Amino acid sequence: MYAYCFYSCSTATPAGTNVSFKMIPTLSRPYQSVRLLNLQEYQSKKLLEDYGCCIQRFIVAGNRAEAESQMNDFNRAHYMVKSQVLAGGRGKGRFIGGRKDLGGVVIANNKKEVLGYVDEMCGKVLVTKQTGKEGLLVKKVLICEAVSIKRETYLAILLDREANCPVVIHSPEGGMDIETVAREKPDLVYKEPIDIIQGMTKTQAMKIAKNLKFTGVCAERAAHEIRCLYELFTAVDATMVEINPLVESEGMQVNGAGLAMATMDIIKLYGATPANFLDVGGTVTEEAVVAAFNIITSDPKVEAILVNIFGGIVNCQLIAKGLIGAFKKLELKEKVEEGTRAKEALQDLKASGLPLITAVDLDEAAKKVVASVKK
C-alpha cells in the first residue's frame, strides 16, 4: 500500500491550510486514488509545528465561551479569525443569513472583535466558490496572530518519479500560481534534487534559502525551516509538501547579545539584580546545558535562574532535556523560569516533576523569577 500526502500551507496570510491524504489500496489498480481523510487547517498547522516549523500562535474554538477562556493570555495587536471548513475561497465567501460584508477569514483588531466574529461564524453555513450553494457548516474557528508580511516566496518538496528522488522546487516569487511564474519567469523557478539516503544537508538548505533571496540571519532561519519541512516530508512519507507563501515577516526578531541585555534589563525593571548572564550559543548540546548550570550554581549566592531561549535556530526541546539533566545530575534546588512556548519543551519539563515554573513570554518570566527571589 502506498500513501499519498498533499500539504498546502499559508501560515501568515488569510489563505487556508489544507491537508489531504490519498491511499492507493491495491497493486492491481495502481492509478486509482481514493480520498480517505482530510485535515482541517488547525490540524495541519499542528503537524507542521510538531516538526519544528515556525507557526504563529493559534487557538481553536467552537463557540464564544471556548474562545474567551483561551484568549486570557493571548495578547496580540491583531488577530486572524478563520472558519474551519474544507474548502478554498473562504475569505471571499459569505454566510447564509449573515452580514454581506463578512467572509470566512477576517482580521480582528482586538479581543472583543475576535469574540464577535466567533459568534457570527460558529454554527453558521459558509458558502464559497468551492462549496456549492448549499455551503458548509462552520463548527470551529482558528484564531491566530496576524503577521505583517514583508515578502512572499514559494517552496515545495515533492517526489520526482523521473529523478527518483525528492526535489525542492522553489522561487523567490510566491503567493501566486507557481505555474504562472514558471511560464512568465522561468529563470526564477529553481529545482534542488535531494539524495534520499543522505537527506538534505545544511549546505543545500542554505543554497535554497539564498535562491529565495533571504540574506543574513533571515537566510539561516529560512534554511532551518526548510530542513524542518524536509524532515516532515520524509517522516510522514509524503509525496508533496507545499508552502505558498513562505514569507519573511516585518520586524523579524533576532537574538544575540541584545537578548541577554534585554533579559537583564527587565529583571532590573521588576526589582531584582542580575548577577550575570551566560550565552550557550546556537550550537548548544544537552551536555553544554548541564555544564552551563554547573558554572552558574558554583556561585552560592545564586537564588534563582531565568532561562530565556529564543525559539529560532536553538532547539527548545534540547534545552529542556538539558535542564532536566542538570537538575538530576547537580541536584539543583533553585527554581527555574523559562520564557519559551515550545510545546514539546514544556511537556518534557512538566513530565520531569521538577520545581520548574513556566511563562509564556519574557515579561511574565521576569516577574516570576523576581517574585521567587523576594520570597
Instruction: Give which of 247, 244, 158 is closest to 196, Cα–Cα.
Output: 158
Cell of residue 114, nine digits: 475576535
Candidate list 49, 152, 220, 242, residue with the active-site label: 242
Q: Which of 7, 154, 173, 230 is catalytic?
A: 154
Task: Give the span between the Cα atoms of 118 and 83, in whole angstroms.
Answer: 9
Chain center to CA of 216? 21
Query: Does 154 participate in catalysis according to the annotation?
Result: yes
Instruction: Kindly report the number of other CB atoms within 10 A of residue 239's CB atom.
Output: 18
- Whether 242 sits among the annotated catalytic residues: the reply is yes
Beta bridge partners of residue 240, listed in sequence order: 6, 158
Q: Which amino acid is at 317?
A: Q
User: What letter represents residue 131's amino acid?
Assistant: T
Distance (Å, rounded) from C-alpha 342 to C-alpha 352? 16
DSSP E strands, the chain: 2-9, 18-24, 34-39, 58-61, 79-83, 94-95, 105-108, 125-127, 136-137, 141-145, 149-160, 165-171, 190-193, 240-249, 304-307, 335-338, 356-358
Catalytic positions: 154, 242
